[in-house]
A and B are shown apart, each in its own frame.
Chain A
Amino acid sequence: MNNTPLKHTNEPGKPSTFDVVQKSLAKRRAAEHRFRFYGIAGIVLALAFLLVLFVNIFGKGYTAFVQTQIRLDIYFERAVLDPDGTDTEDALSKADYTLLIKKSLSGLFPEVNSRRDKRNLYALISSGASYKLRALVLNDAGLVGKTSSVWLPVNDDIDILFKGHIDREAKQSDRRVNDRQLDFIDRLVAENRLEKQFSSTFFTDGDSREPELAGIRGALTGSLLTLLGTFLLSFPIGVATAVYLEEFAPVNKWTDFIEINVNNLAAVPSIVFGLLGLAMFINFFGLPRSTPIVGCLVLTLMTLPTIIIAGRASLKSVPPSIREAALGIGASKLQTIFDHVLPLAIPGMLTGAIIGMARALGETAPLLMIGMVAFIVDIPGGFSDPSTVLPVQIYLWADSPERAFVEKTSAAIMVLLVFLIAMNGLAVYLRKLYERRW
């Protein structure tokens, strides 16, 4: 070891090492600072884009969580609801509830007589309002014959007018709400009959072609079922495959071949899995189209390679000492793997599963082939009911002509993001729970 300081090893005619280092120091520091600056600039730029995206989505979408409602005093007239006096549930469910609404509105605006004005007036109320009244009456038959004050949803055009998305100053022919209707609305506002309220419909109902009645519940349930199925199928199969390939399989041409194929499959475009699913699960096995069961099978095929690759990597990263110690005190190979290696590798495998599931959550292309891009009103009750998923719902709403679907689209994106965050949060929590450091 030479402990003498560098500047003393001066050779004549050559600059000392110390000087060389000193001279280059500023340059190297500058290079480091530059690199850091690039990094920070990159992150700031990415955050700025993210912020723009979020501000755009939240700015457009937050209004979808409220819905303009109108307070009407409905007289549940027995002559309308149960004209034959049968007093059966069947009669009540078939009754003309729209008529009750029309009567109530005419009571508020007694001067409206002409056919055209009546049409304008009745158009204020959502076509779904009568279903709400029906549900009320079927729930509580005691309402018949009484008058009750009920909040009912207004039509989507009135709703977006109330939310400020329609310019009142525009020419009458250029807006969806005409002058007569504006008069009605102003009078209703003056009487405190119009109010924006939290829209529970958005979370409890399935899709609808009327924006004010459309909800996310159907798509959310569909996504939940599909992802649950995907996870239950792909995680055990993926982990088992990874364990076998990594720990038990002999190294030969066959296992090499399988490995290459697994790696390649991870990069195959998702639509290909959709075509495969169509040919195999629907055409060959005859499973019903548009159902979560086919959806989760297709997405399982798509996520399996990701989970297998991540699983193998995390098995490899378990320190050999663990294996050796277990084998050393007499554990069998199976015991070593299942009792010692796998528990340590599970957090890494979960990470792989999260990546796979997050991709599966946002996927629409393969679902197009198996018919999950569809208009479905009923909320799916199981794996074999037709259903759609969140990204498909976003796509369908974005494609709808009605203006009020713009905010619904953004709101659906928010729900998708929350779903994603919740899913990742759960996975991070599970990973932390099992994680062990040394």
Chain B
Amino acid sequence: MRKKIGVSAVTLSVLLSGMALADSARDYVTIVGSSTVYPFSTVVAEQFGKTSQFKSPKVESTGTGGGFKLFCGGVGVQHPDISNASRRIKASEFDMCQKNGVKDIVEVKIGYDGIVIAHAAQDAAMELSLKEIFLALAKQIPDPQGAEKLIPNPYVTWNQINPQLPADKIEVLGPPPTSGTRDAFVELAMEGGCKTFPWIGALKAKDENAYKGICHSIREDGAYVEAGENDNLIVQKLEANPKALGIFGFSFLEQNSDKVSGVKVQGVAPEFEAIASGEYSISRPLYFYVKKAHVGVIPGISEFLAEFSSEKAWGDEGYLSDKGLIPMPEAERQQFAKDIKDLKTLNGAAL
């Protein structure tokens, strides 16, 4: 027994000494941030690891906000080098970075992501306008009688909103408030429909908080079902419930095109070309941010950036578009590729 304790003591001390050594250097790139950018970032990371002499970067899916919190923690090997984001960095986040010594940040736009509204494939194609989406899902809607006041959302079936729509119950499965997809959906689809009411649109200039309160609130009476962050789950639920609609990222629609089909929004179907041209209204840019102070210190960052901005990755027929990323127009790609090469830093005043 005494021998056993001796052995344990030795292993313990070995472990502890290993800990002391562990942090002296890092020879791989660390990436954190948005779960929407994660599928694209990981593909590049893997490709980079396999084709270069560097180790594969480590990609963590922490959400956009969580990613910036880590990224702006400071400069040094224990802090991540790159942060993915499904929206632009906020001025408050930029200030946090500055305060912690992360002065120079390089901003890279990688492409676009479409958010689709889909239903089970066997149904006849549905068509919705942004206004109808807002009327179906908002917590409060303008009084249909015409007065400039709000009433709790009275609609139960789609045909109450527009007689041309089916007489089915409004049931939409979508992501919870913690999700970036939800943020983007609310901003692009809900707000887009909301401001078609002139008096609400006018409110934006007068009282922005009230405006956001009206346009960004999703109903909580069961018509909108929070289905968790897992988009595969929403696809499965749509199969089981053909009357329901689901909200998720374009890449899931593309992978499951035999099971679900996209609803036309404003008359435009969510297809690759339509999202790329900006014709499809619910799409958003995706970004990542690089800590300039780490370039040249952590091996592989500039080579990773070169891989990401190469045509075979983010080009029109690159491997990222195979994964569902909508590429930027060529001129924009060249502009960003040049900015990456020069490591052009972000100006906080422009945010």
A and B: bona fide binding partners: yes
**Chain A to chain B contacts (Cβ below 8 Å), 12 pairs:** A119-B317, A167-B258, A174-B121, A210-B46, A236-B8, A236-B9, A288-B77, A375-B58, A386-B28, A398-B230, A398-B232, A401-B232
Q: Is A378 on the interface with B (CB-CB < 8 A)?
A: yes
A residues in contact with B50, CB < 8 Å: 131, 377
Do residues A376 and B258 form an inter-chain contact, with CB atoms below 8 A? no
Q: Is A316 on the interface with B (CB-CB < 8 A)?
A: no
Do residues B19 and A293 form an inter-chain contact, with CB atoms below 8 A? yes
Do residues A175 and B61 form an inter-chain contact, with CB atoms below 8 A? no
Q: Is A279 on the interface with B (CB-CB < 8 A)?
A: no
User: Who on chain B is nearest to A214 by CB?
Assistant: B46
Do residues A208 and B15 form an inter-chain contact, with CB atoms below 8 A? no
Do residues A166 and B258 form an inter-chain contact, with CB atoms below 8 A? yes
Do residues A290 and B60 form an inter-chain contact, with CB atoms below 8 A? yes
Given A209-B42, A293-B18, answer yes or no on A282-B8 (Cβ-Cβ < 8 Å): no
Q: Is A127 on the interface with B (CB-CB < 8 A)?
A: yes
* Interface-facing stretch out of A73-81, A140-148, A338-346, A347-355: A338-346
Do residues B59 and A233 form an inter-chain contact, with CB atoms below 8 A? no
Q: Is B281 on the interface with A (CB-CB < 8 A)?
A: no
A residues in contact with B5, CB < 8 Å: 236
Q: Mark A204-235, 1 if CB is under 8 A from B, else 0.
A: 00001110000000000000000001001101
Q: Is A371 on the interface with B (CB-CB < 8 A)?
A: yes
Q: Give the interface centre of B2, B9, B59 by most chain A CB atoms within 10 Å.
A: B59
Given A233-B12, A338-B1, A398-B230, answer yes or no on A378-B257 (Cβ-Cβ < 8 Å): no
Do residues B255 and A343 form an inter-chain contact, with CB atoms below 8 A? no
Given A384-B22, A401-B231, answer yes or no on A233-B1 (Cβ-Cβ < 8 Å): no
Query: Which A261-319 residues sit within 8 Å CB-CB of chain B?
Result: 282, 285-291, 293
Contact of B22 among A170, A288, A406 (CB under 8 A): A288
Q: Is B264 on the interface with A (CB-CB < 8 A)?
A: no
Bound-state CA distance A41–B232 (Å) is 35
Do residues B42 and A290 form an inter-chain contact, with CB atoms below 8 A? no
Do residues B18 and A209 form an inter-chain contact, with CB atoms below 8 A? no
Query: Which B7-54 residues sit within 8 Å CB-CB of chain A?
Result: 8-9, 11-12, 15, 18-19, 21-23, 26, 28, 30, 32, 38-39, 41-43, 45-46, 49-50
B14 to chain A, nearest CB (A): 9
Do residues B60 and A374 form an inter-chain contact, with CB atoms below 8 A? yes
Do residues B78 and A288 form an inter-chain contact, with CB atoms below 8 A? yes
Bound-state CA distance A401–B56 (Å) is 22
A residues in contact with B21, CB < 8 Å: 384
Q: Is A173 on the interface with B (CB-CB < 8 A)?
A: yes
Query: How many residues on the B side are at the interface (Cβ–Cβ under 8 A)?
Result: 52
Q: Is B252 on the interface with A (CB-CB < 8 A)?
A: yes
Q: Is A403 on the interface with B (CB-CB < 8 A)?
A: yes
B residues in contact with A173, CB < 8 Å: 257
B67 to chain A, nearest CB (A): 11
B7 to chain A, nearest CB (A): 9
Do residues A374 and B1 form an inter-chain contact, with CB atoms below 8 A? no
Do residues B323 and A378 form an inter-chain contact, with CB atoms below 8 A? no
A residues in contact with B100, CB < 8 Å: none
B43 to chain A, nearest CB (A): 5
A residues in contact with B39, CB < 8 Å: 209, 400-401
A residues in contact with B22, CB < 8 Å: 287-288, 291, 293, 383-384
Do residues A290 and B12 form an inter-chain contact, with CB atoms below 8 A? no
User: Who on chain A is nearest to B77 by CB?
Assistant: A288
Q: Mark A346-381, 1 if CB is under 8 A from B, else 0.
A: 000000000000000000000000010111111000
Q: Is B131 on the interface with A (CB-CB < 8 A)?
A: no
Q: Is B162 on the interface with A (CB-CB < 8 A)?
A: no
Query: Which B238-270 residues sit within 8 Å CB-CB of chain A?
Result: 249, 251-252, 254-258, 261
A355 to chain B, nearest CB (A): 20
Q: Is A176 on the interface with B (CB-CB < 8 A)?
A: yes
Do residues B12 and A236 form an inter-chain contact, with CB atoms below 8 A? yes
User: Who on chain B is nearest to A296 by CB?
Assistant: B15
Bound-state CA distance A175–B259 (Å) is 9
A238 to chain B, nearest CB (A): 11
Do residues A288 and B12 form an inter-chain contact, with CB atoms below 8 A? no
User: Who on chain A is nearest to B26 by CB?
Assistant: A288
Contact of A375 among B19, B45, B254, B319 (CB under 8 A): B45
Bound-state CA distance A285–B19 (Å) is 9
Do residues B59 and A374 form an inter-chain contact, with CB atoms below 8 A? yes
A residues in contact with B58, CB < 8 Å: 290, 374-376, 386
Do residues B258 and A383 form an inter-chain contact, with CB atoms below 8 A? no
User: Who on chain A is nearest to B73 by CB?
Assistant: A283
B residues in contact with A176, CB < 8 Å: 255, 257-258
B residues in contact with A402, CB < 8 Å: 255
